[in-house]
A = this chain, B = another copy of it.
Amino acid sequence: MSRWRPGARERLEEAAIELFVEQGFAATTVPQITARAGLTTRTFFRHFADKREVLFGGDEIPGMATRMIEQAPAGDDPMTVILDGLRAVTAARFEGRRDELRVRREIVRSDPGLRERDLRKRDSLRLAISAGFQARGIDPLRAALLAETAVMLLFVSFDEWLDQPGDRTLITIIEDALTALRQAIA
């Protein structure tokens, strides 16, 4: 038998989300989280840089984007690379998790600080995509525009996907959004 129960990080994440739902993010203190998880305050900050990070841990989407842009066939058009990437990301990290992601979005929406962190995560993705395209020889301004477009398509469609009453897949909504975007800015 170990001195400590394993899975400290996971227990902290679960306890935190439970408490955020029960009493709100701001009203939840780190000692409350660690008490429920059976750990100390100091240990919480060894696993998470700050209180918000417990909701955003383990998000490797920027890394996925970097790899997929690297490995895309050399001749592929950038928009093709983006759509293939979005197809892979949505399948791996979004489809089938709609209820869980709705709960998470509700928590994030309830607190401006969490909203800020969420936006920074999106910005990390933007940076990764932009750097990836620049590595393929695309000029910085064009790479930035492509990255912004990819992130816009993903998250505008993400909200639509969570809000819709039906069961359209996220990638379908993204493809329609791209069509609507082309028409809107023409």
Contacts and interface: CB of A to CB of B under 8 A. Distances in A.
Interface of A: 78-79, 112, 115-117, 119-120, 122-123, 140-142, 144-146, 148-149, 152, 156, 159-160, 177-178, 180-182, 184-186
Given A112-B120, A116-B120, 19 more contacts: A79-B184, A79-B185, A115-B120, A115-B123, A116-B117, A119-B119, A119-B122, A119-B123, A140-B160, A141-B160, A144-B156, A145-B177, A145-B181, A145-B184, A148-B148, A148-B152, A149-B185, A152-B152, A182-B185
A115 B123 CA distance: 10
A79 B140 CA distance: 24
A145 B176 CA distance: 12
Q: How many copies does the complex hold?
A: 2
A142 B184 contact: yes
Contacts of A122: 119
Contact of A156 (B148, B181, B185, B186): B148
A162 to B, nearest CB: 13
A83 to B, nearest CB: 11
Given A115-B123, A116-B116, A116-B117, A178 B182 contact: no
Nearest to A130: B156
A29 to B, nearest CB: 18
A149 B142 CA distance: 14
